[in-house]
Amino acid sequence: MMLIKSGGILQKLNYNFQPGVSVDTVPVYDQDQIKSILLDHYSLPEESVTRFSFELTVYYSSKTESWHMAWYSLIECPAVSFSVRVLTDAHTGTILNDYGVPVDTEPDSLHVTDKDDELIPSVSVFPNPFNPVTTISFSLPQTSHVSLAVYSVSGQKVATLVAGFMPAGTHAVVFDGSSLSSGLYLYRFEATGFAKTGKIVLVK
């Protein structure tokens, strides 16, 4: 058993901070399991992550009206200009927002804005894996400054597909990997108030 108290992490992130709260228990999910969950959730290849830290803390669940243990993690991936601070429930492995609710139930105030789903940009890739051409499609709820680029897992930018303002609507960009070697690549899509990193696999 271990006693975990709320501290500066909760105060900094405003996770219903309340000094002196403690949870006397042990985590079900260890650091390696949480790491695997987060890498999959954010579509990040492990070799591109330069920092992955863990610290046990507690959070308040509005659903159960009680305090629970969580892993606080900081992830940094300079290759695609990505970083995030996130809490993951240490007993269920569920990624949480600031009210102790799963991120697929309510928006995550640390990573995604609190807009309705239909007002959030979306992006998809087909086919994936591909040889040697694939199409990256995205929708914009409003005119936005868009950045879309492809990187190697070492962080080298191999293609800039979009860089500038684009109108609301659905758009499609063709990525031609005929000059590249087979393997895993990352795309980074950014629009106003939204960002996503994803994996694409070139198979020749």
pLDDT at 35: 92
Residue 56 falls inside a structural domain: yes
Domain assignment of residue 112, yes or no: no
Per the CB < 8 A criterion, the answer to whether 166 and 143 are in contact is yes
Kindly state whether residues 77 and 146 are assigned to the same domain: no
Residue 109 inside a domain? The answer is: no
Please state whether the peptide bond connecting residue 127 to the residue before it is cis, i.e. omega within 30 degrees of 0. Answer: yes
* pLDDT tens sequence for the chain (204 residues): 334 444 444 433 334 434 455 666 678 899 999 999 988 887 788 888 888 988 877 776 666 667 778 888 888 888 777 777 788 888 888 887 544 445 543 333 333 333 344 567 888 899 989 999 999 999 888 888 899 999 998 888 999 999 988 888 888 999 999 999 999 999 999 887 788 888 999 998
Q: In which domain, by residue range, is 67 found?
A: 2-96
Q: Do residues 88 and 125 share a domain?
A: no
CA dist., res. 125 & res. 136, Å (int):
5
Residue among 43, 52, 50, 54 nearest 78 (CA) = 50
Residue (of 152, 163, 144, 154) closest to 187 by Cα position:
152
Cis, bond preceding 132 (omega within 30 deg of 0) = yes
Judgement on whether residues 122 and 91 belong to the same structural domain of the protein: no
Q: Is residue 102 part of a domain?
A: no
Residues 88 and 7 in one domain: yes
Q: What would the two tokens of residue 173 be?
A: 């960009």
Give the CATH number of the domain where residue 65 resides: 3.10.450
Same domain, 127 and 89: no
Please name the residue that has the structure tokens 């795309």.
187
CA distance 39 to 46: 7
Do residues 157 and 192 share a domain? Answer: yes
My answer on whether 89 and 163 are in the same domain is no
90 domain residue, yes or no: yes
d(CA 135, CA 11): 43
The CATH number linked to 142 is 2.60.40.1930
| Whether residue 129 has a cis bond before it, omega within 30° of 0 | yes
Would the pTM of this model clear 0.75, i.e. be above it? no
**Dihedral sign for Cα atoms in the order 65, 66, 70, 72:** positive
* CA 140-142-143 angle, 5° bins: 95
